[in-house]
A and B are shown apart, each in its own frame.
Chain A
Amino acid sequence: MTRAILIGGPPNPNLHLLEGQLARCEGVRAVRFHVSALLERLREATQFRASVWQGVHAKASQWVDPAVRRLAPELAAALASGADVLVNAHVDNARHVELLADALPEAHFVFVAHAGRDDARAEHVGAIPATWTPFVEPWLRARDALGERGTTVQDEQLARDPSGTLAALCSSLGLRAAAEWVGPRPIEAAPSQRTLEALSASVAARRALEALGYPALDVSSALARDPALATLHARSLVDAGELERAAPLLERLARAPTPAIHTALALLRRRQGRHDEAVLGFLRAIQADANHVEAWTHLFAMTERDELRAVADFARQHPNVKVRSALARWLVARGLDAEAAEIVASVEHQGWQTR
């Protein structure tokens, strides 16, 4: 059976440099491939096709997942093309580590950790944690269960001592090590202050940083001077259930509100059981920006509220399908049957019943 070594982690060019070095070991073949995307796409495509089947044996979960799981080792063998060991680097090997660990029970996972890198896709500070946390949290969830099948490599260590780190990794993987690192050296790129502040301000990202052994910044002064960072922090407090810490911050931010602040404050009020204020907050967010989809979806999740009737017709004609889907769910919660709801909200043939 082909042995797979899957390298993952938050976006980082060193993932592929490491893949190239491991491929120099005897019996190892490196392949650029998005393994989890193929498995996910096949599972999704098969489940979609099976979903129209109403027969007695149509329980797709009983046969789609097992078939996809059985395909995975054969995919690895096909990619290895006769080599004993397949090595593959992709950021999604970390994001989908749980799926891959299940589909490839013999595979070994190498997680290249770093304390955030600047990402041009994060146009505003609020988007920065999303470029890092989704790649780290699945690894943190999976690493205990992986045990010896999982290895963490610190990116900074790799950049400082590539040959030593490579030798140690090869040894732990049972590979006959290449003598030393050859070719382009790993790129050391310390994150900017802005990136570090954003990760430290997000409750979830901060926990992940600390779990990986990286110190988080003290952002108290940054929060005082940067409303966007403060909004990110406040929202992450609400999401983490730390309502008492979130409340004063959001109340201060609400003096110069944005749709994101209105929404965060409304979510806080809903969690506090102050539903009148929550509805008002979501409505204010929508009033400030009719395309603020999150406010719409949270608003229509408050199924018992009659005030939502005021915006129901507007939502019915909203161009965004997520808004209309939220409306359809609200209508069903208020007693309408699903077929009629999806027609009146124009969401037929959409996956509107789940968020």
Chain B
Amino acid sequence: MNGAPRFFVLGAGRSGTSILQSLLSMHARLVVSHELRVLELAVLTGALFDNAGEPNIDERAPRTPAGLALGVRFVELLGEEQLRAADKPEGVYSDKYPPYCEQLAHLDRLWPQAKFVHILRDGRDVVASAIQAFITDRGWRRQAETPTVEQLATHWARQVRAARAYAARLPRERYLEISYEELTRDAANVLDIVLRFVGLEPDASHTAMAKRMRPGKTWRDTASHLELVQFESVADASALNRELGYPPTPLRPSDPGADATQSSWSATLTSPAQWADAGLAARARGDEKRAAFCFTRAIRGKSKDPRGAVALLEQSASGEALFAAMNARGWSDEHSRAALAAWLQARGLDAATARSVMGFHAEHKR
């Protein structure tokens, strides 16, 4: 059994690395771990070894060959044990992690035989998906202060360019680029290409799942006009998108395809108050989907309109409501606290406790 990673799956965050990892893991001889970050683990092992096991390590200190060798060995053992746990003892181990894009040189140094599979996606979709993930994702990603579009676009371009820059030094048999759009359009074919690239024969187990893949939503449905303008304002991101062959953004009513995009109705919306008004109008029309989109934009930036949070909290079960709660929990105004108390009650807490925890205890006593 050899648990050393045979290849790494990489791609800027929200480019489809998780879907690719899930599909590949269905192969009878393949385990692709989800962001185990084996490079970090190898370096951590080396750092601890070099620092006599003490955890107060100096991140910048160079690692000794003996320490790194132990780190590489630890990753190999982790790979072997995962293959064993997955009942694929003679299989192949890999790890996917988006930031590997900027770590190819280090991966190449520690695993000089490893291959790299880089998944690319339209930058506008990456940014729109990231915004949605920061708002609604369960677990660690959700946060009250989401990054700006410009930050996300810059990050995307930097990751993609870093991977491609190092890949230019690698032989062709060690680096493969695939596209997210192609993966969702014809998953079986793309997976065949990837599996053969890493030295495995395609099998039936993942083909059935691949056939069920459907193209997902694009930035045309999930980004506002303002967000698209902000993306295009990042020159490097805009240029990279063109280099990758993606069509330009229709930002004016006369642009081809403009009517089909979200930007056509959101072109005049910029301030939190405007977004909150648009959300209330959409809700009045019964368009809850658009209302939620508008309300999240009303509280996503540095300045926020509390009406957005209060409205989202009414949709108690949604991911957007959790995002609203994260924003509103620090507000002291009575209206927001009452909305939070009602939201807590809708999510299972008794009324008296819900109101008490939001500071309405004194009122209760009266």
Contact yes or no, A344 B86, CB < 8 A: no
- A53-B33, A331-B357 are known contacts. Are A344 and B49 too (CB-CB below 8 A)? no
Shortest Cβ gap from A321 to chain B (Å): 15
- A67-B78, A70-B77, A306-B352 are known contacts. Are A49 and B48 too (CB-CB below 8 A)? no
Contact yes or no, A38 B48, CB < 8 A: yes
CB-CB < 8 A to A78: which residues of B?
Answer: 49, 66, 69-70
Contact yes or no, B347 A42, CB < 8 A: no
Shortest Cβ gap from B47 to chain A (Å): 10
B163 at interface, CB cutoff 8 A: no
A25 at interface, CB cutoff 8 A: no
Of A32, A42, A313, the residue contacting B358 (CB under 8 A) is: A313
Shortest Cβ gap from B359 to chain A (Å): 4
Which residue of A has the minimal Cβ distance to B359? A313
- A331-B353, A346-B329 are known contacts. Are A54 and B74 too (CB-CB below 8 A)? no
Which residues of chain A (314-352) have a CB below 8 Å from chain B?
Answer: 316, 327, 331, 334-337, 339-340, 343-344, 346, 348-349
Of B35, B74, B361, the residue contacting A309 (CB under 8 A) is: B361
- CA A22 to CA B158, docked complex, whole Å: 55
Contact yes or no, B81 A340, CB < 8 A: no
A59 at interface, CB cutoff 8 A: yes
Shortest Cβ gap from A314 to chain B (Å): 9
B73 at interface, CB cutoff 8 A: yes
CB-CB < 8 A to B357: which residues of A?
Answer: 309, 312-313, 316, 327, 331, 344
CB-CB < 8 A to A35: which residues of B?
Answer: 53
Count the B residues whose beta carbon is within 8 Å of the partner chain — how many? 53
Of B77, B84, B329, B349, the residue contacting A71 (CB under 8 A) is: B77
- CA A64 to CA B357, docked complex, whole Å: 39
Contact yes or no, B82 A339, CB < 8 A: no
Shortest Cβ gap from A280 to chain B (Å): 18
- A34-B53, A63-B81 are known contacts. Are A53 and B35 too (CB-CB below 8 A)? yes
CB-CB < 8 A to A316: which residues of B?
Answer: 357-358
CB-CB < 8 A to B48: which residues of A?
Answer: 37-38, 41-42
- CA A105 to CA B118, docked complex, whole Å: 43
Which residues of chain A (27-60) have a CB below 8 Å from chain B?
Answer: 31-38, 41-42, 45-46, 49-50, 52-59
Contact yes or no, A37 B138, CB < 8 A: no
Contact yes or no, A343 B325, CB < 8 A: yes
CB-CB < 8 A to B25: which residues of A?
Answer: 55-57
- A34-B53, A34-B54, A74-B73 are known contacts. Are A66 and B81 too (CB-CB below 8 A)? yes
Which residues of chain B (142-201) have a CB below 8 Å from chain A?
Answer: 142
- A54-B34, A335-B349, A344-B340 are known contacts. Are A74 and B361 too (CB-CB below 8 A)? no
Shortest Cβ gap from A257 to chain B (Å): 26
- Lowest 9 CB-CB distances: which A-B pairs, in order? A34-B53, A309-B356, A63-B81, A38-B53, A53-B34, A313-B359, A57-B86, A335-B348, A312-B357
Other A-B contacts than A46-B78, A55-B22, A316-B358, 14 sampled, CB-CB below 8 A, are A38-B53, A41-B55, A45-B41, A52-B34, A52-B35, A52-B140, A58-B34, A64-B81, A78-B66, A312-B356, A336-B347, A339-B322, A344-B344, A349-B140
A residues adjacent to B (C-beta < 8 A): 31-38, 41-42, 45-46, 49-50, 52-59, 62-64, 66-67, 70-71, 74-75, 78, 306, 309-310, 312-313, 316, 327, 331, 334-337, 339-340, 343-344, 346, 348-349
* 17 A-B contact pairs sorted by A residue (CB < 8 Å): A31-B52, A41-B48, A45-B41, A46-B36, A50-B36, A53-B35, A55-B34, A66-B81, A71-B73, A312-B353, A313-B357, A334-B353, A340-B322, A343-B329, A344-B325, A344-B329, A344-B357
